[in-house]
Each structure stands twice: as structure tokens, then as C-alpha cells.
């Protein structure tokens, strides 16, 4: 048994069971979404990549519980969002990663309101 808190989520691909619902939700937010499981290693990772007309976002999370979330503004290349976390369990991951999605969704809504 692994001591890493996110082994089931990543190496055992526990996140796969949510893909259908997530793809629908993210599409409703006008976000393109790609899930990538990185090469197996001592500390395997998965990436959630998001793209909107304004931003590129990425959540990278490792089995150890380390997580980095960042968003780049396409027009400037500037980093407009960054968070680093150390999760002890999957629940913490599920409670935290939506911050990136909500930021991207809300920026699109603000742009729509300005038009």
C-alpha cells in the first residue's frame, strides 16, 4: 500500500469516473478540457488543462499530494492566477481545484457583460 495520499486518484485513475459529468459542466462554462496522466514514476502526476478564449489554465497534482494551479492570460502571457498546495487526501483536492475553473468561468462572464 502506498503512503502517498493521491495514489488512487492518479495511478489507479480514480478521477476517470467523473469525466463525463466534468466534460459537460466545463463545456457549459465554455472551457475546453483535457485530462492527462503523466508517465508512471515514484511520484506520478495528472494534469488538467483548460482553455478559454481568454486564458490557459493548468492543474498539476502529484500522488504525494503536491499541487500547482496556474492560469495564463492569452493576450499578454501574464500569469493571472497561481496557487500551490499540499493535500493530505482526495477530499482536499476535490474542494480546491475548482477555484481555477471558477476563476476562468467568471472572467468569461465579465467579458460577456462588457460587450
The 10s digit of each residue's pLDDT in 14-53 is: 999 999 999 999 999 999 999 999 977 889 999 999 999 9
Distance from C-alpha of 98 to C-alpha of 76, rounded to nearest angstrom: 24
Listed in sequence order, the residues at least 6 apart from 47 whose beta carbon sits closer than 8 Å to its beta carbon are 34, 35, 36, 38, 58, 59, 60
Predicted confidence (pLDDT) per residue in 45-77, tens digit: 999 999 999 999 999 999 999 999 999 999 999
Q: What is the pLDDT of residue 112?
A: 77
Please give the pLDDT value at position 76.
Answer: 98
User: Does residue 113 register a pLDDT over 80?
Assistant: no
pLDDT of residue 115: 55
Distance CA 18, CA 35 (A): 11
Sheet of 55-62: strands edge to edge?
Answer: 32-37, 45-51, 55-62, 66-73, 79-86
Q: Please tell me the predicted confidence (pLDDT) of residue 96.
A: 98
Amino acid at each position: 500500500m502506498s503512503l502517498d495520499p493521491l495514489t488512487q486518484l492518479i495511478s489507479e485513475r480514480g478521477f476517470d469516473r467523473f469525466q463525463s459529468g466534468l466534460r459537460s459542466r466545463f463545456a457549459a462554462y465554455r472551457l475546453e478540457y483535457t485530462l492527462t496522466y503523466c508517465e508512471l514514476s515514484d511520484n506520478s502526476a495528472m494534469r488538467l488543462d483548460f482553455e478559454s478564449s481568454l486564458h490557459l489554465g493548468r492543474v498539476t497534482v502529484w500522488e504525494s499530494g503536491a499541487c500547482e494551479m496556474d492560469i495564463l492570460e492569452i493576450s499578454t502571457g501574464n500569469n493571472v492566477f497561481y496557487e500551490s498546495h499540499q493535500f493530505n487526501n482526495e477530499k482536499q483536492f476535490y474542494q480546491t481545484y475548482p477555484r481555477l475553473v471558477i476563476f476562468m468561468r467568471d472572467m468569461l462572464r465579465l467579458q460577456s457583460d462588457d460587450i
